[in-house]
A and B are shown apart, each in its own frame.
Chain A
């Protein structure tokens, strides 16, 4: 008998649970081994049980729920993809809204019921063994359910879009990663054409939930008692990304609601079609074309031009590759939609429109129609600048330094033609590549990011007027080095996690030792700080000349530290030169006299 609730049909739900019992049993068993069994056998001396449970919830949970959601969706909605099943199921005396909601709620229960069992098991073990992780178990339950709610709702939405069982997981995976992948690819292509556009920056990860969950939603480690050499530290583990999970779940519900309306209007005869919603067919076709143009076009360009970056120095060739990728995508999409290989007649106009748009876009990028390349923010509009270069990164608020950066940036933009010519002619095996990232934080709250990849060779390095020389004079000035190392010099002994020195002496005996916090602090304040003031240590090497090699000592000093406002430890490494008198003197007081290259030349 149909249930009294018109949105839920108990017989249909019961059938779903019995038919696909293997799925939820497997899910339960996997979680059972990951949490309750681990609680019984866990003894990791570095991380506590609460860390394990929270990490399982976010890392393992997001991966397993991502996979499980599509499996459940494929199982529950499998009847939509075969004419034989749909002609029977759709003829049953069940309304579409009831059918959809029953399958959707059953799918949610496929996660909620197993996770309830895991939660109950965890509580029992918690009581028996006294782990005190009740809150973490509840967090795990909430994390898993929220993750599944999004992934399953999204998979349901994908099932409503397509009429083909193979297309469902394909669509699900592609759409889940499309933002991150497409942003990365488009940036790679654009960075080739647009001087200053970053290829490595990814800003839209939040729209690819699995990627975001795995990279940005980690369990936070809070050190409540700092460790010393004699006592271990005390740490708490917390999860602070509930907002993102709640937003995901809300978005999931939105997808489910859209799926509901798509299902109500679904043409059952669309079983077997790649895209079941008629109105979305052109959208699919052009999105597929753009995707193939970028992915396949970029791949062909990289293979043919034998370069992974700087493709923009061959704009004509890259454009042809992108058009070729678009051609494959456009007619591939037509073949998928029409389920035939004979799509060549009558579809060239659409491809022509796409090609024209692509050419206009590339033309505007290449000729900087929108002024992106030329734009350098006005000094008075800048609040601060984050500068990353080699191993250093600093946020600069000092007005004089900001002026220096703006001036240098303007000079670089003016020198674009020369820089691109250098890149094109870069065949010198001794040349270096310097990556410089700039982010201007403006007074109005906006950010202006720029990334440059500059070629450094001996000629440029020795030319005092070159862009790279100007950058070196500014960046490696003692004042600027002290500024970007300010956080390290502000550390007290307790904030140094470890200080480690290693190297080789003149007798070729290697040495390495961890200093005490007091020794490390003394080395920092009495050795490195005065030497940096004198400009004899801490310089970034943008080009390695023979003089540099002769002046370097065979020693490295590594600091691991964390200042008050920082959650994570940071690392800084210094190599003393023969002019780093204060540092070398302190090392000598500790019994270490590092060798220099001349020591080995003599022997």
Chain B
């Protein structure tokens, strides 16, 4: 289990993490989302032991990550920008990781070679961005990690390879109980794979729940109603097209339905909410909304 308790990190006076709390259960696929500059990459660098927090705790399995070789050897990390030694091939990097990660499996490496259509003797500097990502997954999965931390993992991959990689990850999660923490701006894709989601803003965790809880706690309603709606409805966002109004309301679906029905609308219906919509409307409440700017 990954636990981040009240972590603060400051860069030259700028508070990048401001008392952040985060909790990832074992075997979960946790989607970390947030606007640019929210602190997602910063907390990932704490979780991989690169940064040391100013205060708070960053724990994996109850132990601090920083300078903890035992814990770090169970974590594989794929950063947004893949690093490899200049002029090294995938095979060279494999030999290096084999010497560094005690659980590294050459058998898995060779098996994954069938999946990734890459020449492992070719210098990595010649690979495209998408091929580099594939190579990173190849090497990371060969390390047989218990925790996989991914920063914008499928950025640059073609749709087929995306599906392929997610399938491999799902397999690892289901067979070995691997915990995956993934930071991405591609919310539609996260929605398909994540079972837990955390939304960060300004170095803090705004919401952190399982995806089903999150989707159950916010309702999108379309209705036509001439009478005023009950004041107890927590409406996050309103828009209208002709007489049809679309409301985003915080609350359980049954409770919201009951309240709206009490206003006797001419017509109303609840519509499923996507993760992207939840993200937009939740952050709209903290002054992070799409601004309508008209360029002259």
Which residues of A does B touch, CB under 8 Å?
1-2, 9-12, 14-15, 19, 84-96, 267-269
Contact = CB atoms under 8 A, between A and B. Distances in A.
B50 A93 contact: no
Interface string B15-52: 00000000000000000000000000000010011111
Given A93-B69, A268-B51, A269-B11, A85 B99 contact: no
Contacts of A10: 99
Nearest to B98: A11
Q: Is the interface of A mostly helix, strand, loop or mixed?
A: helix
Contact of B49 (A2, A11, A91, A267): A91
A116 to B, nearest CB: 25
A1 B96 contact: no
B83 A94 contact: no
Contact of A88 (B51, B69, B75, B83): B83
Nearest to A98: B69
B45 A2 contact: no
Interface string B39-70: 00000010011111000000000000001011
Q: Is the interface of B mostly helix, strand, loop or mixed?
A: loop
A15 B96 contact: yes
B79 A95 contact: no
Contacts of B49: 90-91
Interface string B82-97: 0101101000000010
Given A91-B77, A269-B11, A11 B100 contact: yes
A130 to B, nearest CB: 45
Contact of A2 (B50, B85, B102): B102
- The 7 A-B residue pairs whose C-beta atoms are closest, nearest first, are A11-B99, A93-B73, A93-B72, A91-B48, A88-B83, A90-B50, A84-B83
Contacts of A267: 51-52
A268 B79 CA distance: 15
B207 to A, nearest CB: 27
7 contacts: A2-B69, A2-B100, A87-B83, A91-B77, A94-B100, A268-B45, A269-B51
Contacts of B96: 11, 15
B81 interface: yes
Contacts of A96: 67
Given A12-B100, A88-B79, 10 more contacts: A2-B102, A9-B100, A11-B99, A12-B99, A84-B83, A87-B83, A88-B77, A91-B72, A91-B77, A268-B50
A94 B71 CA distance: 11
A127 B200 CA distance: 74
A91 B50 contact: yes
Contacts of B77: 88, 91
B45 A15 contact: no
A392 B102 CA distance: 74
B182 to A, nearest CB: 16
B138 interface: no
Nearest to B9: A269
B101 interface: yes
A19 to B, nearest CB: 6
Contacts of A268: 45, 50-51
A10 to B, nearest CB: 7
B71 to A, nearest CB: 8
Nearest to B77: A91
Contacts of A87: 45, 48, 50, 79, 81, 83
A393 to B, nearest CB: 57
A85 B79 CA distance: 10
B50 A86 contact: yes
Contacts of B45: 87, 91, 268
A1 B102 contact: yes
